A and B are shown apart, each in its own frame.
Chain A
C-alpha cells in the first residue's frame, strides 16, 4: 500500500503539466520573452546542488552515471558522421569545448582521441569539477595540454578561452538550464566558422516522461531522483526553429537514440520525436 502511494505521488505531482501542445508554446515563450531581468547565468542553482550530490558516483561504471558512460561512444559516432557530412568541416586535429562537462565523461574521451588537439571542459558545479580533475589525474595521457577543466559558465568563460573551437558540445545540458535560447546562442558564439555545435537532450513527450521520470527515476531508480525536470525538455522541432531563426547556421543533423536495457544505446531514426536525441548544426563558413 505504502509503495503504491509512493509511486502515485510523483505521478500526481508530475502529471500536472498541461498537454504537450500548450507546454511547447509556453516553453517557446520562456526562452524568447524573458520578463524577469536577464539572469546573470543560465545555471539553475537547484540543478547545481543536485549534481554536487552526484559527484561521488560519477565514475562508478556500475553507478548512477552508467547510462551516460554507455551513451558516450555514440556521441563520438554522431560527431564523426557530422564532420564527414560536410566538406567545409574543420580539418583534424580538433579543439573541443565541452559545456556542462560534469565529471568529464565526454571531455576525457575527446581528449584521448588522436584527432584531438585539446579539450576545455567547463561546468559550474565545483564538486563535480573536482571529481573530473581527480579522475583525469589517473590517466597520464590526459596532460594539461590535452585537457583542462574550468569552473565557468558560458557567461563567465574568460575572453581568452572563448574562440576558435572546432567542436562545441553540450551533452544532456540544455534540459537543465533556465534559458535555453540564450544559452545556445552563447555556445554557438564559441564555434569557429565551419565548426559544429553538437548537443543532446530529451524530447518533451509523454513517452519521455514515462521513461525518464517515472521508470528511470521513480520505479527502476537507474537514474537518481530529481535528475530530470520534464518541463525543461526541449523538442527537436523547437531546436530546429531556434537555429532557423538565427543567421549563420546550416541545416541541422538529428539522430534519435534509444536505451534498451541489456543491449545498451541504439540509434533509432525517428525516435528524436519521442525521447533522447543528438542534434548538431554547422556554422557556415
Chain B
C-alpha cells in the first residue's frame, strides 16, 4: 500500500526529482538531451521559458506536473529576484493594486496542475454577480445567475492579486522541483547555435544571460510580456494600436462588505472616457480599474486621498458632465461631490457601496493598448500571454487568455513528446496556433468594439447601444450565453 502510494506520488510529482543525484537519474537525463551532461558541450534544454509571470510559471508548472512531460529539461529565465516572490506575505489588510479576475476555467486548470491550493485562499474573492451599465443613458445589463443561468450563486470569476497567483505557482513549481531557475537574470542577446561536425544547432535559439551563461533551447518560450524580446528575436510582428487611455488602479476600502448577502458583486460603468470598474476583494476591500484619458489619470494620481475617494464615488453615481467638470479642478472634489450627490438620484442597491478610503501608495496607472502578434510560433519559438496579445482590460480577460494559451501549448508539447515529435518544431506547435489564434482574436475584437462603442458620449449611437443593452437584459438565454462565455465555461464557439 505504502509503495503504491509512493509510486503514484512519484509519478505525479516528478519521477526524476525523487532520485535527484543518483547516477540513474543523470543517465536518464543525458539520454534525452545528450550533450547537456557534458561539461564542455552546450547547455541544452528542452524548454527555456523567458518570463516568470503568470503565463510562464503556469506553463512550466503544467509541464512539470504532467508525467508525460515531467522529464523534460526545463529552464526559467526571470529578470526579477524570485526570492521576494517566495517570501511574499503581506499583512491581511493590505492588497496589491495589480489584481486579476480568474475565470472558473482558469481556476480549474490551476487546480489540475496542482497550483490552486498554493494560492493564499484568504486573499481570493469569488463573485457571483455583475452590474454593468451605460453612464450616459443608464441602460443596464445585470449579470446574475438567477433564472436564466445554470445555477444561482455560481461563481463568475475569482478576484485575486497577481502576486498571490504567481507566488502560488512558484510554490507549486518549487515543490515539483527540477527546473533550472535563472532569476535576477538579464537576457543580453538571443542568437542561433552553430553547426559542428556531429551536431547541427544552427536552428536552435541560444539565450545569452548577463554573466555569460548560454542556454540552448529546443523550444524557446516567450512569456516575456508585451515588449517580448523573444518575439523580436523570432521576427514576429505585433500589430495594434494604443487607446490613448490609461488604466488607473487602486485598492479601495468600502463602507461595508458589499450589498450581496452571501454573494459578491462586480460593478462596471461605461463612461465616455472609458469604463470604470470596481471589483470585490475580501472583506470590505475592492480593487479599482478606471480607464480614462492620460490627463484625467494624471489628475487622479495627484489628488489627495479624500478627493480621490470622492471622485471614485462620483464615477459610479454622477453624470458624465458633472465628472468632466470635476476633472478640471485640481482639488476640492470632496466638497463638490458631496454637494452634487444631494441633488442626484440613483439606486443605492445597484451602485457599489461608498468608498471610504484608498490604501496608501496603491494609486497607479498604465497605458492601455491592443496588440496581437502575427503568429504565436516560429521554428523553436512559441509566444504565450502578453507576448502574444495585449487586450483592453474592460472584460478582465487578459490573464485568462494567457492561461488558455498555456493550456493549449502544454497539450501540444505533451502530444509531441508522447508521439516522438521534436517538440520545438512548427509541426509540433501548429495545433497551439490553430487552437488559440482565432479565439484570442475574437476576444480582442469584442473588447475593442465595446470600448469604441461606449466611448461615444452623445449622438445616435447612445440610444442604440442602450437599446442593445436593454434588449440583451430582457433575453434570458442570450444573457446566459454571454455570461458563460465571460466565465470561460461556455461551449467552444471560437
Contact = CB atoms under 8 A, between A and B. Distances in A.
Interface of A: 61, 69, 72-73, 76-77, 108-114, 116, 134, 137-141, 143, 146
Given A114-B32, A141-B33, A143-B34, A76 B420 contact: yes
A139 B422 contact: yes
B421 A114 contact: no
A69 B427 contact: yes
21 contacts: A73-B421, A108-B420, A108-B422, A110-B420, A112-B421, A114-B71, A134-B200, A137-B199, A137-B200, A138-B201, A138-B204, A139-B218, A139-B422, A140-B35, A140-B36, A140-B42, A140-B44, A140-B199, A141-B31, A143-B34, A146-B31
A128 B364 CA distance: 61
B18 interface: no
B415 interface: yes
A61 B427 contact: yes
A109 B425 contact: no
A227 to B, nearest CB: 20
A113 B71 CA distance: 12
A143 B35 CA distance: 9
B203 interface: yes
Contacts of B35: 140
Interface string B396-438: 0000000000000000000100111110011100100000000
B198 interface: yes
A114 B419 CA distance: 10
Contact of A141 (B34, B42, B419, B425): B34
Contacts of A72: 419-421
A201 B198 CA distance: 34
Contacts of A138: 200-201, 203-204
Nearest to B30: A143
B199 A73 contact: no
- Give the top 5 A-B pairs by smallest Cβ distance, nearest first: A109-B420, A73-B419, A112-B420, A137-B200, A61-B427
B203 A113 contact: no
Contacts of A140: 33-36, 42, 44, 199, 201
A108 to B, nearest CB: 7
A170 B427 CA distance: 23
Given A61-B425, A61-B426, A76 B33 contact: no
B44 A112 contact: no
Interface in B30-50: 31-36, 42, 44
Contacts of B426: 61
Contacts of B204: 138
A134 B203 CA distance: 13
Given A61-B425, A114-B32, A109 B419 contact: yes
A141 B204 CA distance: 13
Contacts of A139: 218, 422
Q: Which of A111, A112, A113, A141 neighbours the largest number of chain B CB atoms within 10 Å of its CB?
A: A141
Contacts of A146: 31
Contacts of A76: 418-420
A77 B415 CA distance: 11
B34 A73 contact: no
Given A61-B426, A109-B420, A111-B420, 4 more contacts: A76-B420, A77-B419, A110-B420, A138-B203
A73 B421 CA distance: 8
B33 A109 contact: no
Contacts of A111: 420
B219 to A, nearest CB: 12
Contacts of A134: 200
Contact of B198 (A116, A137, A141): A137
Interface in B64-96: 71
B381 to A, nearest CB: 14
A140 B73 CA distance: 13
Contacts of A110: 420
A108 B418 CA distance: 13
B215 to A, nearest CB: 14
Interface in B189-236: 198-201, 203-204, 218
Contacts of A114: 32, 71
Nearest to B427: A61
Contacts of A141: 31-34
Q: Which of A109, A111, A112 neighbours the largest number of chain B CB atoms within 10 Å of its CB?
A: A112
Nearest to A109: B420
A110 B71 CA distance: 17
A73 B415 contact: yes
Nearest to A112: B420
Given A69-B427, A140-B34, A141-B34, A113 B420 contact: yes
Q: Which of B32, B42, B419 neighbours the largest number of chain A CB atoms within 10 Å of its CB?
A: B419
Nearest to B28: A114
Contacts of A69: 427
A154 B203 CA distance: 34
A73 B419 CA distance: 5
Nearest to A70: B427
Nearest to B32: A141
A141 B426 CA distance: 18
Nearest to B419: A73
Contacts of B201: 138, 140
Q: Which of B35, B36, B44, B421 neighbours the largest number of chain A CB atoms within 10 Å of its CB?
A: B421
Nearest to A135: B200
Nearest to B431: A264
Nearest to A117: B31
Q: Which of A61, A77, A111, A139 neighbours the largest number of chain B CB atoms within 10 Å of its CB?
A: A139
Nearest to B197: A137
A76 B34 CA distance: 23
A72 to B, nearest CB: 7
A113 B34 CA distance: 14
Q: Which of A69, A108, A111, A138 neighbours the largest number of chain B CB atoms within 10 Å of its CB?
A: A138
A64 B187 CA distance: 38
A112 B33 contact: no
A139 B31 CA distance: 12
Contacts of A73: 415, 419, 421
Contacts of A137: 198-200
A108 B419 CA distance: 10
B377 to A, nearest CB: 11
Nearest to A111: B420
A171 to B, nearest CB: 13
Contacts of A116: 420
Contacts of A108: 420, 422
A282 B22 CA distance: 37
A134 B199 CA distance: 9
